[in-house]
Amino acid sequence: MSKLTKLTRGLLVVTAANIALSAASGADGALEYRILATSKTSTMDKEINEAAADGYRFAKAMGGKTANGGQEVVVAMVKEAGAAGRSGFRYKLLATSKTSTMQKEMQSLADEGYEYVDQTVFQTAFGGREVVVIMEADPAQKARSNYRLLATTKTSTMQKELQAAGSQGYVLFGLTVGKTEIGGDEIVAVLRKN
């Protein structure tokens, strides 16, 4: 078993444990989970929304090599045991290697009522590691947020850019390292301001 596979499995176990602990601390009853895994973001977008139609809500996501031997996006969904019907939540998955495109798409969805819930990195067929962002629309939420994405190859530059964004009231929500098709590693930060 490769080190990457062992690491991915270890991270999945830790993620599942964190989900269980955080959900158990806030729930009075039993919970039901649904694990979704696919190699296509368009398929995941469809499956997340189908799970939401069955009453589930997004819990956590991770991209990596699974036991099947392929690169997949794995998503955990959760609901209270016995809960029936729609959760009312809707989801969109965004995947791109261009941060300017990602920021525009995120802001467009935010203007429609979607909010950032998570991000991960997904291995593409072309050898890149795209950042995948999951957005959630909560029918009870009326506030609209502004998003900013920062991407750089240097941690010192990220420090400066985060500091500048923080002084404008932006809060860091996600941080990943993605790789473009031409081989450059980038630190990608997602920030939100209400």
Mind listing the pLDDT tens digit for each residue in 45-63? 999 999 999 999 999 999 8
Total-model pTM: 0.76
Please list the rounded mean pLDDT of every run of 10 residues in the chain (194 residues).
50 52 59 92 92 94 81 91 79 85 92 93 69 90 89 92 97 85 76 93
Amino acid 15: pLDDT: 55
Question: For residue 9, what pLDDT is reported?
Answer: 55
Q: Give the chain as a 3 state SS string.
A: CCHHHHHHHHHHHHHHHHHHHHHHHHCCCCEEEEEEEECCHHHHHHHHHHHHHCCCEEEEEEEEECCCCCEEEEEEEEEECCCCCCCCCEEEEEEECCHHHHHHHHHHHHHCCEEEEEEEEEECCCCCEEEEEEEEECCCCCCCCEEEEEEECCHHHHHHHHHHHHHCCCEEEEEEEEECCCCCEEEEEEEEEC
**What is residue 95's predicted lDDT score, i.e. its pLDDT?**
85
What is the pLDDT, as a whole number, of residue 4? 46
